[in-house]
Chains A and B, each alone.
Chain A
Amino acid sequence: MESATLPTPVDQPAEEDRTNRRVELLLGALASTVLLFLAGMLIFTLIKAWPSFAANGLAWFGAGGNVDEQLAAIFNSPADAANFVYTLRAWPLIWATIVVTGLSVVLASFIGIFSSVFIVEFAPPRLQALIEPVVKFLAAVPSVVYGLLGILVVVPFIADTFITESMRESVRYVIQLDGTSVLAAVLILTVMILPITIAIIVDSLREVPVSWREGAIALGVNRWRAMVTVSLRAVRPAIVAALVLGIARALGEAVMLAMVAGSIGFAPNPLDGLLFFLEPNRPLAPTILDGEEGLSVKPFGETMYAFGFILLFSTALFSLAGWIARASLSKTSISAR
């Protein structure tokens, strides 16, 4: 960044100056296409999705009826434009997205913050040297591999261990409990987000000047308190960055969730007690993936683009919120990269 203020050489021949100007413009135009692309993506997805939103109004976001039956009706709607079916109450899908994303992000940031503190401050050097490549490795495992392990190992495990015959009996007429569940989705998603969270927070914790913490310790505070009151406060922008990335990853995860969340448009009910965690569901992103073959059916495709727009819009919003939060926090702390 500083380099931008470097004095450019003077007394250049006019020819060279023009070349420089051209290079700057060319690269600037290239960079601006990123913005153009983002704007285009939001606008065109919204235009494509509009019929679905327009036909339902705000009820689009509400609950009512069976969302899978509604999607099937949209898919099978008559071929002439006047009779397209658009009726949709997307709440079960939205609720599943909120539950799965929320739980796994909360879990991952909680575990992530504590393990980062442990790694930087308390872990023996040998363990520290081991953890870094491990974290990088976990972040590099493709999501479809997580999904495969989930559906072939975690899901059967949950079905065998936690789900009893009486539980199955109690909800028989509503849903099938086969192990694909909120629990499986949240567990695996947490393992997927955790490495990113830890990598970002650890990097930032390492940059906290030792003297800051030493100052606190010299004032008679113990190591743990110094960590919490000085270091963790100093890296708040990094924590926000980790949170935003975690939310984005969780919202956008389609493949793994399509495999382990149980492709049923059912809204898990918190009033069911512990059963809540064992109920199948299907967040928005896997819904698009599942409906991929129907994209060419006009009303169905438009409904899928509506899901896509909701995802795009919310990740953009979180990105923006994170950007603002970091800008305001960085005045009093170490700025995140």
Chain B
Amino acid sequence: MTGIFLCLVAFAITVYMAVKGLQFINLDMLTTSPTPAVDQSETGGFLDPMIGTLILTVLGTAIAAPAGVGIAVWLTEYGRPAWLARMVEAGTEMIVGAPSIALAIFGLLIFQTSLMAPFSFTAEGGAVFGRSFFAAGAIMSLVALPFVVGGTREALNSIPKHLREASYALGKDKASTIRRVLIPAARPGIATGTTLGMAQIVGETAVVVVLLGASLQLAPEGAIPALDVLRGTGSTLTSYVYVNSPAGEGNAPDKAYAAAFVLLMIAITLNLLVNLFGRKGPSR
């Protein structure tokens, strides 16, 4: 019974969001920046939040993927001393459980130190603002990290022993076995884990509100192209939905519905990708 109930809930959410989303969305919303205005018809769309989501996801994944694969390789292939490996294992599990809002305010604590000043902007008087794409991306990488580690470990564990043995028999040492044999073989698992991590980043709101500033538009800092955007504040689709819901300052439910619809589409796409990678299984 509950199974059917769950299906109904999922169905209801999708249909309701699709109806509401398609009712309010239009091409202008996807191509114009949000602007402050009293009249709802002049507040623009959510181009900047979409770009923000993209930048943040790329930044977070770019840090989380290599680090996660590295940690997973160490855990499965080396794992010495054993007590340290078990602690790291428990640690990654703890990061999954850590409230993202706590991660976010801790991130603010780090990035407001003067050491981290280059990553955001410094106000007159020397106070470091601490909110930027760099700061949010760094904390987002932690949100995604456990999923990359989990996916990679699972794949590495399911690689048959004889593959490793064959590589050793050919005279390869451990480091090149990992690089040339194990990681290529674990690629589907790594892809699954990374995609799951990306889905977490896309759906995360608290970190964006606290560490990205949830400003209306991208607000570049400094004069160096590309880097200035990363040093500046911005918003993502999640924070746009939050701000435009009745709980936020914007209070424009129509736009919130439209943005939430786009967000849901991204989440579903990532979910489908996970299924696609998962079905392939560990390749040879």
Q: Chain A interface (Cβ within 8 Å of chain B)?
A: 1-4, 6, 8-9, 12, 16-17, 19-20, 23-24, 26-28, 30-32, 34-35, 37-38, 41, 44-45, 48, 111, 114-115, 118-119, 123, 127, 130-131, 133-138, 140-145, 147-149, 151-153, 191, 194-195, 198, 244-245, 248, 251-255, 258-259, 263, 285, 288-289, 292, 295-296, 304-305, 308-309, 311-312, 315-316, 318-320, 323, 337
Contacts and interface: CB of A to CB of B under 8 A. Distances in A.
6 contacts: A38-B94, A115-B2, A142-B267, A143-B203, A198-B6, A308-B105
Contacts of B29: none
| Size category of the binding interface on chain B | 35 or more
Contact of A148 (B71, B257, B267, B270): B257
A252 to B, nearest CB: 3
B162 to A, nearest CB: 11
A13 to B, nearest CB: 9
B176 to A, nearest CB: 9
Given A119-B3, A142-B203, A308 B173 contact: no
B175 to A, nearest CB: 4
Nearest to A195: B6
Given A118-B3, A136-B271, 14 more contacts: A1-B76, A6-B165, A9-B171, A28-B84, A34-B92, A119-B3, A135-B6, A144-B238, A147-B245, A191-B9, A198-B6, A289-B101, A308-B105, A315-B94
B116 interface: no
A337 B157 CA distance: 12
Interface in B82-109: 84-85, 87-88, 90-103, 105-106, 108-109
Contacts of B105: 45, 288, 295, 304-305, 308
Contact of A255 (B95, B156, B206): B206
A150 B108 CA distance: 29
Contact of A319 (B80, B94, B209): B94
Given A34-B71, A136-B271, A4 B17 contact: no
Interface in B1-37: 1-4, 6-7, 9-10, 13-14, 16-17
B241 A27 contact: no
Given A4-B76, A34-B88, A138 B242 contact: no
A127 B4 contact: yes
Contacts of A311: 99, 101-102
B242 A194 contact: no
Contacts of B268: 137, 140
B73 A27 contact: yes
B219 interface: no
B94 A44 contact: no
Nearest to A38: B91
B218 interface: no
Given A30-B74, A145-B264, A315 B97 contact: yes
Contacts of A312: 98-99, 102
A51 B178 CA distance: 49
A123 B4 CA distance: 10
Contacts of B260: 144-145, 148
B56 interface: no
A308 B99 CA distance: 8
Nearest to B170: A9
A31 to B, nearest CB: 5
Given A27-B71, A118-B1, A140-B271, A319 B97 contact: yes
Contact of A44 (B2, B85, B106, B202): B106
Given A6-B164, A244-B97, A254-B101, A30 B67 contact: yes
Q: Specify which of A48, A148, A320 lies most central, judged by the most chain B CB atoms within 10 Å of its CB.
A: A148
B101 A252 contact: yes
A248 B102 CA distance: 12
Q: Specify which of B78, B271, B275 lies most central, judged by the most chain A CB atoms within 10 Å of its CB.
A: B78
Given A19-B175, A289-B206, A315-B99, A323 B93 contact: yes
A127 B76 CA distance: 36
B101 A288 contact: yes
Contacts of B96: 245, 248
